[in-house]
Amino acid sequence: MTQVSMTVNGQAASGDVEGRTLLSTFLREHLGLTGTHVGCDTSQCGACVVHVDGNAVKSCTILAAEADGADVATIESQAAADGTLNAVQQAFQDHHGLQCGFCTPGMVMSAVALLKDNPSPSEAEIRAYLEGNICRCTGYHNIVKAIMAASGQDVSAIAAE
């Protein structure tokens, strides 16, 4: 066992993990942060995306030990303490950017990271960025629309699905 320590959602977190323990497992099973979903464990679906030192990362692709000392943010950190949704979360709600919701935490975390780097992405740029996020409900159209709306762009030209 190895002890890992990191900052998760602004708070110190530590635990004893096996060398093979994934960051996604550490977040979900050691810290109880089950908003980070695991859809594949094979780096394909993106349901497990979190931010590590400000970058969007599939948390099933790195070991908890690799995140030792890192600053990690999960979906649980995105709404304000009073429950007010962040701009991306609110836009997903307003534009029906989710159906079953399984992919949503990863989609939101990816979208937040995208908008940090590119505050006004085109539809094509959003679709390209989300290549690593799979929605098995296939709600991509409204997800893209929500992200454009969250960036303050006019989405009236995007037809309803």
User: Nearer to ligand FES by C-beta: 54 or 101?
Assistant: 101
120 binds ligand FES (CB under 6 A): no
Q: DSSP state, 160?
A: P
**Percent composition of the chain: helix, strand, coil (DSSP 3-state, to 5):** 35, 15, 45
Angstrom distance (rounded) from CA 75 to CA 56: 12
- Binding ligand FES (rule: CB under 6 A), the pick from 4, 98, 126, 148 is 98
- Binding ligand FES (rule: CB under 6 A), the pick from 26, 139, 147, 149 is 139
- Binding ligand FES (rule: CB under 6 A), the pick from 29, 30, 34, 39 is 39
Q: In degrees rounded to 5, what are phi and psi of residue 88?
A: -70, -45
Angstrom distance (rounded) from CA 114 to CA 99: 22
User: Nearer to ligand FES by C-beta: 14 or 44?
Assistant: 44
User: Nearer to ligand FES by C-beta: 47 or 111?
Assistant: 47
Task: Retrieve residue 14's tokens.
Answer: 């530590």
User: Nearer to ligand FES by C-beta: 47 or 75?
Assistant: 47
100 binds ligand FES (CB under 6 A): yes
